[in-house]
Amino acid sequence: MQKPLIVCSLLNRNSKGALQSLDCELLRLPSADQLLTTEFPRPPRLFVIQTVPPDYDATRAVVLSLRGQWPLTDVLVWAPQAEGSTVRTYFQAGAHDVVLQRQESKLVEVIETTLQNQKFLPRIHDLGRQRNKGARFESMLSRSTEMWDLFELCARVAPTDATVLIVGETGTGKELLARAVHRRSGREGRFVAANCASIPPDLINSELFGHEKGAFTGADRAKKGLVMHANKGTLFLDEIGDMPPEAQQCLLRMLQEKRIRPVGSQVETEIDVRIVAATNVLLDEAVRDGNFREDLFYRLDVIRVNVPPLRQRPEDVFLLFGHFTKRLAKHYGLEPPTFTDSFLDALLEYEWPGNVRQLENFSERLVLERSQSALTARDFDKLWNTNLVEITGTREHKQQAVWRNSVDPARSLQENLDPVLEELEREYLQAKLKQHSGRVAETAEEAGISRRTLLRKMKQYGIDKQKFKS
């Protein structure tokens, strides 16, 4: 296993010598600015920045940029004798820790502690105190700025009576958000959930609004509906886009009149229910297609909360994976598994179509099928029953480089070679990605280039790794 890479800036020779005792690879740069422009051989595990007055503001800017460019890598600032206000700005910028002592031994001690904390997931760091407040919203965890904005919106509208429409793919945590809104609403009633897609169309009115005895065949006694159970509380209507037209009409009337009438009854009952609806389809399109009432849509779409899928917030993949794995290992009384960087790359590259729910199920399977050794990208594939592509011998069919331009004597040799070399490079990278089922980390390692360089070339040539996944 490769040693962790630590990138340092502005450290003198004595300090660098003190760091040699660490079991890691050191890369020293002459200035903090070069941390932002240097192409590293592999993702660093830790950035260490030494700063002295009057460079405090410049260091803060570098820390802020590093946290944006490398959101999963810890940043450590060595600022002997810095004032408290300066230290706070470093934490606010995203620094993992600030070392105030002048002794190199203290710096080494903090680095060792940081690396020790990273052993479970090498590139997960503890959030700084300023950011830790935004990491959890009720039972939901996130490091995504978009999710923090979403949490703030939910906290702001929770005490109101406004209806909320939560839009997101399956498994993104829409019901968790709905429960969080209810808990922060201050409403004295209960939280009641109903999945509109799982209730038969001919029974949904009865399930939601109740019925009288004898209202239909099989109604041998009166029944309170889910709306009455949620009176003075919150009714969560999941998969609202699958609600039948007749139930849509009844729900619209309830929202307008604040009254319901059970099936088979002539008496209306006043109710006080806050509606939170969720859908994984675009209701705007359902309205245009005539499958959903436009007037009901506008009643529900007072506050819209768009939950991004997990693939759009990769910073949450490691955070949630670490949370699930440790929690489940403790639940089953097992030791949590350990992972290599290639496994974590595979974890990050996977699209997670089932989102957070799929990640949690995968984490449980991983804990129960635990391995004694550190897991690799191949283990990731095995867990998904993915057939790895084995390359043996020579292939009968080989792609041939296409000479898109004939030789032009008026141009230089290099100008004639460039288009051909680009074509060869494109075909080579495609062949390697196919060999490794689209896994970027393994492809870059075998091709002898950095992961970042490979991603840049894939973008340059329009290569989509998804085409090569088994």
Does the fold of domain 145-306 match that of domain 5-131? yes
User: Mean of the per-residue pLDDT values for the chain?
Assistant: 82
pLDDT at 167: 95
pLDDT of residue 129: 33
* Residue pLDDT, tens place only, 322-379: 889 989 998 999 888 888 878 888 888 888 989 999 999 999 988 988 777 888 888 8
Within 13 Å of residue 31, how many CA atoms lie on the same side as its CB? 6
What dihedral angle (degrees, nearest 10) is formed by the CA atoms of 9, 12, 17, 21? Answer: -40
Q: How confident is the model at residue 134 (pLDDT cuts 50, 70, 90)?
A: very low
Mean pLDDT across 148-164: 92
Q: What CA–CA distance (Å, rounded) separates 332 from 334?
A: 6
In this structure, what token pair is assigned to residue 402?
């296409």
Report helix, strand or coil for 84: helix
Could you count the other beta carbons within 10 Å of the beta carbon of residue 11?
20
Tell me what percent of the residues of the chain surpass a pLDDT of 90: 26
How far is CA 187 from each of CA 140, 193, 230, 274, 320, rounded to the nearest angstrom? 21, 15, 10, 9, 30
Which is more confident, 445 or 167? Answer: 167
37-59 pLDDT per residue, tens: 888 888 888 899 988 778 888 88
Asked whether the whole model's pTM tops 0.95, one would answer: no
Confidence of residue 220 (pLDDT cuts 50, 70, 90): confident
More confident residue, 222 or 320: 320
Query: Which of residues 13 and 226 earns the better pLDDT score?
Result: 226
- The correct CATH number of 145-306 out of 3.40.50.300, 3.30.1370.60, 3.50.50.60, 3.40.640.10 is 3.40.50.300
Q: What is the pLDDT of residue 72?
A: 72
In angstroms, rounded to a whole number, what is the distance separating the alpha carbons of residues 228 and 7? 61
Distance between CA atoms of residues 60 and 64, nearest Å: 6
CATH T-level fold of 312-383? Helicase, Ruva Protein; domain 3 (1.10.8)
Q: What is the pLDDT, as a whole number, of residue 470? A: 58
Domain 413-468 has CATH 3.55.50: no
The answer, yes or no, to whether residue 295 has pLDDT greater than 90, is: yes
pLDDT of the residue at 298: 93
The better pLDDT of the pair 283, 71 is held by 283
Q: Supply the pLDDT for residue 389.
A: 33
Return the residue matching tokens 């019901």. 175
- For residue 405, pLDDT over 60 is answered with no
User: Does the pLDDT of residue 466 top 70, yes or no?
Assistant: yes
CA distance 27 to 24: 10
* Domain definitions of the chain by residue range: 5-131, 145-306, 312-383, 413-468
Angstrom distance (rounded) from CA 56 to CA 34: 16
Domain 5-131 belongs in CATH node 3.40.50.300 = no
Residues near 458 by Cβ (< 8 Å), separated by ≥ 6? 429, 433, 440, 464, 465
